[in-house]
């Protein structure tokens, strides 16, 4: 841990334990005696921490006497990008919960998250106003449906569901054993074992028209098997990869794409002309085609031919919708 983190740890230990021997500090901070002495000197002299050595108790403690000098204050706690995102995302998700049975439990959690954000030296409300987390194309899930899915998932019970297939515009009744709940691109999905198909399937929660918890125990699938099925290929569409998409991005677009992770097993290389080649495994063409089209003329599908044909077909259909260019 860095110096600022040690200051907060020292402060926490003194508040929680009242008396802390030096050996305990050295063990938990993982520092030498000399480093600890320098930290303690800085806390006392620069930050005005009222920390004293209690010879009788055999440890350090806060001085209970009324302070006569400048007020003691730790430096602002700065978050990493990941930590700040996690705090704000949790704060936002709790704020999005609709009024209901959880309201009384959510408020204390939000207060604790706000206190953590306040520790940075800036009010939580100001951080939330200045740092925004935007959702795109989020689809609404019925609260009752979500609750039943989560309870069955955690209690390891089967579910009977009416799932709407968007592609065929039909509703099928299935019995499934829930395995994992996934939040992907601002939407919720249930990874489950489908007893009708006798195979693993993924269901978008917003497509579930009816959810009925069943008393039967859920069939458990090994974590490694779930990962092999759901995480091996690109995007939300599961299954073993059937091919590898080889995409070449223009030098201009490469400035953005080279920093992106499209898949954990992706490979990439820079080409002599400044373009960028990205290779990713996929099992279903639908999502990867959408992401290719997002980059327009700045990306070329080099392989496989089937993916080239699918993109070419989609581009031709789009062009046909706009008619011939005006002279």
Tens-digit pLDDT profile for residues 6-60: 888 999 999 999 899 999 999 999 999 999 999 999 899 888 899 999 999 999 9
User: Terminal CA-to-CA distance of the chain, rounded, Å?
Assistant: 66
Considering only residues 107 and 257, tell me which one the structure prediction assigns the higher pLDDT: 257
Q: Residue 80 — very low, low, confident or very high, per pLDDT cuts 50/70/90?
A: low
pLDDT, average across residues 169-191: 92
In Å, the largest CA–CA distance within the chain is 95
CB 242 within 8 A of CB 297: no
* 120-149 pLDDT tens trace: 666 777 777 777 777 777 787 776 788 899
CB 160 within 8 A of CB 174: yes
pLDDT at 119 over 70: no
The confidence score (pLDDT) of residue 105 equals: 63
The confidence score (pLDDT) of residue 196 equals: 93
Closest CA to 249 of 214, 274, 230, 224: 274
For the chain, which domains are there? 3-62 (1.10.10), 81-130 (no CATH), 143-230 (2.30.30), 243-322 (3.30.70)
The confidence score (pLDDT) of residue 122 equals: 66
pLDDT winner (highest mean) among 108-112, 128-132, 222-226, 228-232? 222-226
The confidence score (pLDDT) of residue 232 equals: 80
Closest CA to 233 of 310, 289, 288: 288
CB 275 within 8 A of CB 251: yes
Using a pLDDT cut of 90, give the percent of the chain over it.
56
Give the separation between CA 50 and CA 91, rounded to whole angstroms: 34
Q: Residue 219 has what DSSP assignment? A: P
The confidence score (pLDDT) of residue 70 equals: 79
Task: Average the pLDDT over each of 1-10, 176-185, 266-275 and give the range with the smallest value.
Answer: 1-10
Residue reference for tokens 């009744």: 173
pLDDT, average across residues 182-200: 91
pLDDT at 108 over 60: yes
Closest CA to 310 of 230, 257, 242: 242
Closest CA to 238 of 195, 284, 185, 206: 284
The confidence score (pLDDT) of residue 2 equals: 77
- Angle (CA) 69-70-73 rounded to 5° is 135
Q: 130-137: which pairs have CB atoms within 8 A and are 24 or more residues apart?
A: 131/84, 131/88, 133/85, 133/88, 133/89, 133/92, 135/186, 136/185, 136/186, 137/185, 137/186, 137/187
Residue reference for tokens 């490694």: 224
The confidence score (pLDDT) of residue 135 equals: 73
CB 201 within 8 A of CB 176: yes
Per-residue tokens: 153 = 């998932």
H, E, C per residue of 151-185: HHHHHCEEEEEEEEECCCCEEEEEEEEEEEEEEEC
The confidence score (pLDDT) of residue 239 equals: 76
The confidence score (pLDDT) of residue 102 equals: 58
pLDDT winner (highest mean) among 2-6, 133-137, 212-216? 212-216
Q: What residues contact 291, with CB distance under 8 A and at least 6 apart?
A: 235, 262
pLDDT at 233 over 60: yes
C-alpha distances out from residue 24 to 9, 17, 38, 75, 92, Å: 12, 11, 16, 23, 38
Q: Residue 197 has what DSSP assignment? A: T
The confidence score (pLDDT) of residue 317 equals: 94
pLDDT at 99 over 60: no
* 255-314 pLDDT tens trace: 999 999 999 899 999 999 999 999 999 999 999 999 999 999 999 999 999 999 999 999
Average per-residue pLDDT for the chain: 86
pLDDT at 157 over 80: yes
- Whole-model pTM? 0.64
The confidence score (pLDDT) of residue 22 equals: 94
């Amino acid at each position: 841990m860095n110096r600022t983190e040690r200051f907060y740890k020292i402060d926490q230990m003194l508040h929680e334990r009242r008396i802390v021997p030096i050996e305990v500090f050295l063990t938990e901070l993982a520092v030498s005696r000399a480093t600890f002495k320098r930290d303690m000197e800085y806390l006392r002299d620069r930050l005005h921490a009222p920390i004293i050595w209690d010879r009788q108790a055999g440890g350090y403690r806060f001085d209970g006497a009324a302070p006569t000098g400048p007020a003691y204050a730790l430096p602002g706690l700065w978050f990493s990008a990941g930590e700040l995102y996690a705090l704000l995302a949790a704060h936002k998700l709790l704020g999005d919960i609709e009024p209901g049975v959880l309201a009384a439990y959510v408020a204390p959690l939000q207060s604790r998250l706000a206190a953590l954000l306040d520790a940075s030296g800036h009010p939580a409300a100001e951080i939330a106003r200045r740092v925004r987390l935007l959702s795109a194309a989020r689809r609404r899930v019925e609260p009752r449906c979500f609750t039943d899915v989560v309870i069955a998932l955690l209690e390891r019970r089967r579910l009977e569901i009416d799932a709407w297939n968007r592609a065929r515009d039909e509703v099928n009744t299935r019995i499934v054993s829930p395995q994992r709940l996934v939040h992907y691109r601002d939407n919720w999905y249930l990874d489950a074992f489908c007893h009708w198909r006798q195979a693993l399937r993924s269901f978008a929660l917003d497509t579930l028209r009816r959810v009925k918890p069943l008393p039967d125990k859920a069939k458990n699938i090994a974590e490694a098997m779930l990962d092999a099925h759901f995480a091996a290929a690109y995007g939300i569409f599961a299954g073993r990869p059937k091919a590898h998409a080889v995409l070449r991005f223009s030098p201009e677009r490469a400035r953005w794409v080279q920093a992106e992770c499209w898949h954990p097993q992706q490979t990439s290389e820079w080409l002599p002309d400044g373009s960028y080649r990205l290779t990713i495994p996929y099992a279903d063409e639908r999502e990867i085609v959408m992401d290719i089209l997002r980059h327009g003329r700045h990306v070329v599908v080099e392989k496989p031919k089937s993916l080239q044909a699918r993109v070419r077909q989609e581009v031709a259909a789009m062009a046909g919708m706009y008619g011939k260019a005006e002279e």
